[in-house]
A and B are shown apart, each in its own frame.
Chain A
Amino acid sequence: MAEITPLRSPAETGLAKLFEATKMRYPTGVSIAREEAFRYFEAVGLPTRRVEAFKYTDLRSAFRDAAAPAEMPSAETAQAALSGAKGFAGLEALRLDFVNGHLITGSSDLGRAPEGVTITPLTEALSQGHALLDRLTPVRQASENPIYQLNTAFLADGALIHVAAGAKVEGPIHLRFVGAGGEAFSTATRVLVVLEEGAEATILETHEGPDGVAYQPNDAVDVVVGDHAVFRHARLNAEGRETVALSTLSARLGVEAAIETVNVVVGGVLSRHQVYLNFAGADAKAIVNGATMLNGSQLADTTFLADHAATGGVSRELFKTVVDGSATGVFQGKIIVQQAAQQTDGKMMSACLILSEDGQMMNKPELEIFADDVACGHGATCGALDEDLLFYLMQRGLPKAQAESLLVQAFLGEAIEAVSHEGAREALVGTIEAWLKARG
């Protein structure tokens, strides 16, 4: 019988070759998972618009070819790249530095972890077969996702952060991802965070890189938020203008656990940030916000999923998108309430401002509900700046550009307010101001 070989895009063929060539090079101990992940990815391929979850983000056409995984950069390259990093630069924090997807142990504060916090480079954890790794089974929906599977298949580096029971970590831990170099490359990092019962920690993430290089980062953060634990998270995507940036945050929430995560996007020619929340314990709470600013021909996709499996979960999502130029904003959100998850309270809102003629916004807010005693809702709005508000401000003497900026800032600011860490919040407000200033 003739075998049927599906047509592969150059990028898919490239990825297969790269996988074969590099699979032995990376940390041992996960070769089976890696192999399985790649076989999974190979079977589905790079998703096109025909795949419902990628209806508005065609990865097959975004990846013209697959860039080779980046090598560990030289100390000088790393130092130069890190010294130019701007995200949360002045902030007092414990830093873990990644350049081209590799943990730079020399510049990272690995030894300075406060009491109750243990940080292990992922390569080390994997080769030792760290006991914690067993607890990090991914959220189901993430493991069915080709982006996450690619991350597993090419996983090169990362960190394992453990916060002991009851430890309340004061300062933030800043994961600083910087891209460097003049040639296209790809990265695959994974940061695993385990918060034991009653622990509290703040993780900040920044992603930056050169403008003229079409590098391809794929970063994943997996979090286990133990019972009564609190995880706070703010993330800034300030990738280069040519970057195709893929990222996933998946979290499993224990009883009365809380998560707060805010994602701010200004970079990347195409970016997709996926958030998967699994409400495994009762009465868990989540705040998931996003502020996205786009211009030129950028496309930014925010894909969110909350899977309520236990009673009394509360989730609040607020996603704000501002579209300028001929950019495209995409929001796909889904709240699933399983039959057991009675008394779930979920509210999801996506609002978009289109500032230009050619801007586009695609919204797909879904509800999938199998329990009757719930209060779930979603809203989606899309439109131009309110003429009346503009008029009001201009009448009071503000030039049009400034009036617009003020309104846009207020619009986006609402999503950022949720960031508990004051310094991080102010820095993100600064990001919005800088974006508006550059707009002129």
Chain B
Amino acid sequence: MPAVQETIDRVRSIDLDQYKYGFETTIEMEKSEKGISEDVIRFISAKKDEPEWMLAWRLDAYKRWQTMKEPEWARVSYDKVDYKDIYYYAAPKRPAAMSLDEIDPEILKTYEKLGIPLREVEVLEGIAPERRVAVDAVFDSVSVATTFKAELSKAGVIFMPISEAIREYPDLVKKYLGSVVPVTDNFFATLNSAVFSDGSFVYIPPGVRCPMELSTYFRINERDTGQFERTLIIADKGSYVSYLEGCTAPKRDDNQLHAAVVELVALDDAEIKYSTVQNWYPGDNEGRGGIYNFVTKRGDCRGVNSKISWTQVETGSAITWKYPSCILRGDNSRGEFYSIAVSNGMQQVDSGTKMIHLGKNTTSRIISKGISAGRSQNTYRGLVSAHRKATGARNFTNCDSLLIGDQCGAHTVPYIESKNSSAQFEHEATTSKISEDQMFYCQSRGLSNEEATALIVNGFVRDVLQQLPMEFAVEAQKLISISLEGSVG
């Protein structure tokens, strides 16, 4: 069925300039010298007041990185980053703030504009107490504020910028950092290991259910800088945590690099729920500017009965290269991946997941919904594999793509590798436009074309939206409708 003319016209007329987080904050910044070198790494390490072992770790990664090549297998094409021409460290000049009052008011205003509450009081006034969210706000290369730290520490939960954790909990960091995503994992992860600046560190002690949602809000502000965040979440035996991540950046004509590494470790009976709403600046309609989002995210279900669940709503970034994965090591462990990837304009998305079944009776579920519009390219790339010992492994994969307009592309590249006869894998993928039958059904009940389209698209992504925590689900729904404004009514 051809899309209703109205829809097509509206999609075409979508102006990506409606990106509403594209403003810039003008404050005095302190930067490392341009480019990457041992000196720059020493500078970053010194800025963070890091112990010697951390610096050695970084330098080692840097050495490795110099021998590596940028991966080219993804279905994206872009002007390569000039790694000598970006700043690897940029932080607001004011000394580290001890309380909110000391934070540069410009930064506070920035977060206000972004709708991120940094003041605990406001949070309490605004939202019912059971829906409180602790926020770690990362501005370019540093964390500027972390809320509810005190209350969390009462429950034994450690939630702080990773640079602080390296100083305060070196043993924990040493034990887990790089244990899920090894330093040598891939080009971008290795680069991140060498120059990572900030990110969040979370440790949930045994048997603790984290009393509130934790979240990190990433903001790229400074021109010509790359953001290299590093997040490490450890859920000890029998604990539970739900973690949210959001990101935005100003509108600029040149591309900026975001190369993050996220590592999750779930021990026996622990559960981690990781949700992302990614809304980096996608570039303008002609493909100028936008963030290169080259991210390595991986969770390790290390203990028995552990569970890691990734939920992502991807609407931003010029180029996305991102595969949140689960290593299902512990017996009976479970991995989940729910994804909505919306691309419009000239965006290119190559995203998916890996479910690596190593333990017995491990299960995984992949639900991926891709929506392409404009002249964008949207690729799902995924791997499901069962190793010899993964007796009784089960996977269900469903990846659907929806095309809006005839200038875009939707692609599916799944790899399904079974080395165990008792593993049961099911994979299904469809690509279509909104079905005529569904449209007819809705319209015959009195809905207009636009209303019907909106209803069907909402239904299309519902499986994934349901997985998001309430705060994010609302934001995600809004984002999707903005990204596809016109086509979803």
CB distance from B378 to the nearest CB of A (A): 10
CB pair A367 B412 closer than 8 Å: yes
Closest to B381 in A: A366
**Given A372-B404, A383-B425, does the pair A363, B416 have CB atoms closer than 8 Å?**
yes
A364-393 interface (Cβ within 8 A of B): 364-384
Q: A360-B418, A366-B413, A377-B431 are in contact. Are A372 and B408 (CB under 8 A)?
A: yes
Known contacts A368-B409, A379-B428: does B421 contact A384 (CB below 8 Å)? yes
Nearest A residue (CB) for B435: A375
- Given A363-B416, A366-B412, A380-B416: A372 touches B425 (CB 8 Å cut-off): no
CA distance A383 to B425 in the complex (A): 6
Picked from A52, A355, A376, the residue with its CB within 8 Å of the CB of B421 is A355
Provide the A314-356 mask, 1 if CB < 8 A to any CB of B, else 0. Answer: 0000000000000000000000000100100000000010111
Contacting A at CB under 8 A, from B399-436, are 401, 403-433
Q: How many residues of A contact B (CB 8 A)?
A: 36
B406 touches A372 (CB 8 A): yes
Across-interface contacts of B35 in A (CB, < 8 A):
none
**Cα(A342)–Cα(B405), bound, Å:** 12
Q: Is A76 an interface residue (CB 8 A)?
A: no
Number of A-B pairs whose CB atoms are under 8 Å? 123
Instruction: Name the residue on B nearest A355 (C-beta).
Output: B421
A361 and B418 within 8 A (CB): yes
Shortest Cβ gap from A316 to chain B (Å): 15
Contact of B1 among A373, A379, A383 (CB under 8 A): A373
Q: Do A373 and B433 contact each other (CB < 8 Å), given the known contacts A356-B421, A362-B417?
A: yes
A69 on the B face (CB < 8 A) = no
Does B73 sit at the interface, judged by CB under 8 A? yes
Q: How far is the CA of A380 from the CA of B417 in the complex (A)?
A: 11
Q: Does A359 contact B (CB under 8 A)?
A: yes
For residue A33, give the distance in angstroms from its CB to the closest CB of chain B. 31
Which residues of chain B are near A368, meaning CB under 8 Å? 409, 411
The reply to whether the CB of B182 lies closer than 8 angstroms to some CB of chain A is no
A422 within 8 A of B: no
Known: A354-B421, A367-B431. A378 touches B415 (CB 8 A): no
Q: Are B2 and A373 in contact (CB under 8 A)?
A: yes
Residues from chain B with Cβ under 8 Å of A52 in the complex: 73
Judge whether A357 is part of the interface by a CB distance below 8 angstroms.
yes
207-228 of chain B: CB within 8 A of chain A: none
Whether the Cβ atoms of A376 and B427 lie closer than 8 Å is no
Closest-by-CB residue of B relative to A329 is B418
* B3 located at the interface, meaning its Cβ lies under 8 Å from any Cβ of chain A in the complex: yes
Chain B residues within an 8 Å CB radius of A357 = 421
Whether the pair A378, B429 counts as a contact (CB closer than 8 A) is: yes
Q: How far is the CA of A429 from the CA of B159 in the complex (A)?
A: 64
**A352-B418, A363-B415 are contacts. A374–B423 as well, Cβ < 8 Å?**
no
Query: Which B residues are CB-close (under 8 A) to A362?
Result: 415-418
Tell me the complex Cα distance, A135–B84, Å.
53
Chain B residues closer than 8 Å to A55, beta-carbon distance: 415
Interface set, chain A 18-55, CB cutoff 8 A to B: 52, 55
User: For residue A373, which residues in chain B have a CB less than 8 angstroms away from its CB?
Assistant: 1-3, 406, 433
B residues in contact with A352, CB < 8 Å? 418
Q: Chain B's interface: helix, strand, loop or mixed, by majority?
A: strand
With the chains together, A376 CA to B1 CA distance in Å?
Answer: 13
B425 and A366 contacting across the interface, CB-CB below 8 Å = no
A381 contacts B412, C-beta separation under 8 Å: no
**Chain B 375-408 near chain A by CB (<8 Å), digits 1 or 0:** 0000000000000100000000000010111111
Query: Which residue on chain B has the smallest CB distance to residue A342?
Result: B406
* Cβ-defined contact, A369 with B431, below 8 A: yes
A10 CB to closest chain B CB (Å) equals 28
Cα–Cα distance between A362 and B414 once the two chains are bound (Å): 10
Closest Cβ of chain B: how far from A94's Cβ, in Å?
42
Of the candidates B406, B411, B425, B430, the one whose C-beta lies within 8 Å of that of A371 is B406
Contact B413–A382 (Cβ < 8 Å)? no
Chain A residue nearest to B422 in the complex (CB): A384
Residues of A within 8 A of B3 (CB): 372-373
Given A372-B405, A382-B418, A384-B422, does the pair A366, B411 have CB atoms closer than 8 Å?
A: yes
List the A side residues contacting B406 at CB < 8 Å. 339, 342, 371-373
CB B364 to nearest CB in A, in angstroms, measures 14
Residues of chain B within 8 A (CB-CB) of A359 are 421
Is B425 touching A379 in the complex (CB atoms < 8 A)? no
Cα separation A359 to B421 with both chains bound (whole Å): 6
Query: In the complex, which residues of chain A have a beta carbon less than 8 angstroms from the beta carbon of B421?
Result: 354-359, 383-384
In the complex, which residues of chain B have a beta carbon less than 8 angstroms from the beta carbon of A383?
A: 418, 421-425
A362 to B430, CA, bound (A): 20
When chains A and B are docked, how far (Å) is the Cα of A360 from the Cα of B427? 17
Name the B residues within 8 Å of A377 (CB-CB). 428-432
Cα distance A377–B3 when bound, in Å?
A: 19
Contact of B416 among A339, A354, A382 (CB under 8 A): A382
A376: chain B residues within 8 A (beta carbon): 430-432
Cβ–Cβ contact B416 & A372, under 8 A? no
Q: CB-CB < 8 A to B428: which residues of A?
A: 377-380
**Which of chain B's residues has its CB closest to A379's CB?**
B428
Which A residues are CB-close (under 8 A) to B423?
A: 382-383
Would A354 and B418 count as touching, CB distance under 8 A? Answer: yes
Report yes or no: B430 in contact with A363, Cβ–Cβ below 8 A: no
Q: Is B411 touching A369 in the complex (CB atoms < 8 A)?
A: yes
* Known contacts A378-B412, A382-B423, A367 near B433 by CB under 8 Å: no
Q: Which of B1-39 contact A (CB under 8 A)?
A: 1-3
Once bound together, how far apart are the Cα atoms of A354 and B411, in whole Å? Answer: 28
Q: Across the interface, which residues of A come within 8 angstroms of B427, CB to CB?
A: 363, 365, 378-381
| Bound CA span A376–B419, Å | 28
A sample of 12 cross-chain residue pairs with beta-carbon separation below 8 angstroms, ordered by A number, consists of: A355-B421, A363-B417, A363-B418, A364-B414, A365-B416, A369-B431, A370-B408, A372-B2, A379-B427, A381-B425, A382-B418, A384-B422
- Extra pairs beyond A361-B417, A373-B406, A379-B428 (14, CB < 8 Å): A354-B418, A354-B420, A360-B418, A360-B419, A363-B417, A363-B427, A364-B414, A367-B410, A372-B2, A372-B406, A372-B433, A378-B412, A378-B429, A381-B426
Q: What are the 10 closest A-B residue pairs judged by CB atoms, nearest first?
A: A354-B421, A372-B403, A383-B424, A363-B416, A377-B430, A380-B427, A367-B412, A382-B425, A382-B418, A370-B409
